[in-house]
Amino acid sequence: MKKLNVVVIRALGEEYLQQIRTVSPDIKIVDASPYFFLDPPTENPAFKDKLDAVLAQADIICGFWPPREVISRAPNVKWIHSMLAGIDRPEWAEVMRSPVLVTNSIGIHGTQISELVFELMLMLIKQAHFCFKMQQEKKWAPFFPKLLHEKTVGIVGLGNIGKELARLAKAFGMRVIATRR
């Protein structure tokens, strides 16, 4: 049986790659993430030929955004999976017009992203930057950080992430104002 070539275009880490490999011995994973810049997530021109060779053999592609002109560069691709929830961006237009199966990761980011947002809210309200600076300078000055309790949080977009953020905010005794489409 022919191996199924899965091309991963975003670094997942060896643990996750191994989990994919355990699905079937007929899966061959090619980690093409070194061929991309991370910020912004774009192809590294120095590796164009290597990436083209990998894409030419791809049956499945997994990453955040598809590579430019992916349909012509990956003629055997049958399935492209985005690790993002939203695939309604211009980068996806070519793929969405093609017969390639497209899936996304809607619904899995709620906890991670809302906890990150809450972490940042706490860092700001508790003046973590000020505390860190005092610690580095080996100084201590009294200060009085504010509370999130009884503050108002505005959430634009009440999808999976927004709903989880609202739940956490309510647990902290915050007032929640939210909008959705």
Average model confidence (pLDDT) across the chain? 91
Backbone angles phi, psi at 77, to 5 degrees: -65, 135
Which pLDDT score is estimated for 85? 81
Which pLDDT score is estimated for 39? 67
Which pLDDT score is estimated for 179? 94
Which pLDDT score is estimated for 174? 98
Does 8 have pLDDT greater than 70?
A: yes
pLDDT digits (tens, 9 = 90+) for 152-167: 999 999 989 999 999 9
Q: Following CA atoms 167, 170, 175, 178 in sequence, which dihedral angle do they give, to the nearest 10 degrees?
A: 10
Give the CATH fold of the 110-179 domain.
Answer: Rossmann fold (3.40.50)
Which pLDDT score is estimated for 121? 97
What are the sequence ranges of the domains in the chain? 4-103, 110-179
Does 40 have pLDDT greater than 70?
A: no
Distance, CA of 93 to CA of 60 (rounded, Å): 18
This prediction's pTM: 0.75
Question: Is there a common fold for 4-103 and 110-179?
Answer: yes
CATH number of 4-103: 3.30.365.10, 3.40.50.720, 2.60.40.1120, 3.40.50.2000? 3.40.50.720
Q: What is the mean pLDDT of residues 30-54?
A: 87
